[in-house]
Amino acid sequence: MGRLVYFSEVPKDRETSAMFAELAMPLFDQLYNFAHWLTQDRSEADDLVQETYSKALRGFSSFQPGTNFRAWIYRILRNTFLTSRTGLKATSVQVELDEAAESIAEAETPESIFIDQSQQQLLQKAIEALPLHYREVVLLCDVEEMPYKEIAETLSIPIGTVMSRLARARRDLRQALQVKLVRR
């Protein structure tokens, strides 16, 4: 990314800025966390978040009051990332399965799974290693706790695709973790 973003380029009045800040700033930590997971680099995450806020403020007039602001600004962040160098590189990795043909992955047959501290590090690496389309959906669902509908809106995909990607992402995580099965 590396492009400096000048907010002063953004035409705005005091009322618009205040309204935007009221909606956008409470999401700052979450958006940053998500940006970091997408870029996997602190400096790029910084740039991505700044550019997202700048674009969102510039396009705030297109936001319909009463609709989902979180989905709106996450979509801006994601689209900004996808058009960045890192984002383009990430999306060039093919999603292995044809999503239309994807079915919800069969659940494994664990009696119980226990994830301890040492496995958290493995889990972090496993999330980082997920292809972008799976990584983002599992983060939006499990970290941001977005409902399927909001994820679909954010990623501009059907709810069915959200579900199939989620199932696939979780299956990959389980496999990568080599989850220990502990019978309770």
Pair of tokens at residue 179 = 């989850």
Contacts of 121 (CB under 8 A, 6+ apart): none
Residue 73 is a binding residue for another protein (CB under 8 A): no
By C-beta, is 29 or 96 nearer to another protein? 29
| Segment interacting with another protein, rule: CB under 8 A, options 24-32, 63-71, 77-85, 88-96 | 24-32
Query: Angle between the 42-58 and 28-39 helix axes, to the nearest 10 degrees?
Result: 130
DSSP 146: -
Q: What distance in Å separates the CA atoms of residue 98 and residue 169, rounded to the nearest whole number?
A: 14
Residue 58 is a binding residue for another protein (CB under 8 A): no
Out of 2, 62, 118, 184, point to the residue binding another protein (CB under 8 A): 184
Query: How many other CB atoms sit within 10 Å of the CB of residue 61?
Result: 8
CA atoms within 13 A on the CB side of 117: 0
By C-beta, is 25 or 88 nearer to another protein? 25
Residue 2 is a binding residue for another protein (CB under 8 A): no
Q: Which residues of 145-158 are buried (b: 16+ CB within 10 A; e: fewer)?
A: ebebebbbbbbebe
Residue 179 is a binding residue for another protein (CB under 8 A): yes
Question: Is the Cβ–Cβ distance between 113 and 182 less than 8 Å?
Answer: yes
Pair of tokens at residue 45 = 């995450």
Residue 148 is a binding residue for another protein (CB under 8 A): yes
| Segment interacting with another protein, rule: CB under 8 A, options 50-58, 67-75, 77-85, 87-95 | 50-58
Q: Which residue has the tokens 């709106």?
A: 72
Subset of residues 77 to 136 that bind another protein, contact rule: CB under 8 A? 104, 106-115, 119-120, 123-124, 127
Out of 90, 132, 141, 155, point to the residue binding another protein (CB under 8 A): 141
Binding site for another protein (CB under 8 A): 5, 7-8, 10-14, 17-18, 20-21, 24-25, 28-29, 32-33, 36-37, 42, 45-46, 49-50, 53-54, 57, 104, 106-115, 119-120, 123-124, 127, 138-139, 141-143, 145, 147-148, 163, 166-167, 170, 173-174, 179, 181, 184
